[in-house]
Amino acid sequence: MTDSTLPTSFVVTLSCPDRPGIVHAVAGALLEAGCNIADSQQYGSPSTGNFFMRVEATTSSTQAELSSALAPVAEAFGMKWQINPVGQKVRTLILCSKDAHCLNDLLFQQRTGTLPIEVPAIVSNHRDLEGLAEFYGIPFHYIPVTPDTKAEAEAKLLALIHEHGIELTVLARYMQVLSNDLCTELNGRAINIHHSFLPSFKGAKPYHQAHARGVKIIGATAHYVTADLDEGPIIEQEVIRVDHARTAEQFVQMGRDVEGRTLTQAVQWHAEHRVLLDGTRTVVFN
């Protein structure tokens, strides 16, 4: 068997209006392409009437041949669908400001091979984390943002995204609100970490808001970026317990590890093509 005919693993993700016969049709098309299904997960949403499916399969067919086999099924059922090689690294741009913990978690997990992303650039509106980017050997781009230069800064950011073929943008405690136009451009391809268990305590200083309300748990939420601030579809959340003796500053300190883990997990699931959008919600195949 030559290298060109060795089995390759692909992940197929799809969504469409739910109706009988979808799984049968997809499995038949994969069989036609010579696939062996290694894993298959599906979900029918009772609230939206949409069907979601994620399949990992090995085949000696090329990606183009696999696409040709699936295309008639996708057309017949009105599917949104993708095919990606399993393990292929997602080209990711990371945005940050002054806090290092989320950026460091992402870069460390990427370097160890746990996180299937490739980071060709880091962008920040401050220079504080330039040394961390240098430590990991990743180009650092300082793009300051003021109310007067916001449009210009976002134009530079978008130029970097196009230049580097960026597939995913991650806001790793990037303390800037993206414009509506940029949010639309990055729809479904930008993940933010909010240091609160959404939908509670949106906006600035959520730990201080939580402390003022005397909460017993704090947490972090990783979600897709939308034009509605902190309202995007949620991918992952984690919480920890606190009590009345903790100060707001201690909330902040305790929350850092949670933020890093939550963001990294969300990025991993996205990069492994486990997250599918269902309107304002997500379907996450673990």
Q: Catalogue the active-site residues.
A: 230
Dihedral angle at the C-alpha atoms of 229, 232, 238, 240, nearest 10 degrees?
Answer: 20
Distance of CA 169 to the CA centre of its chain: 8
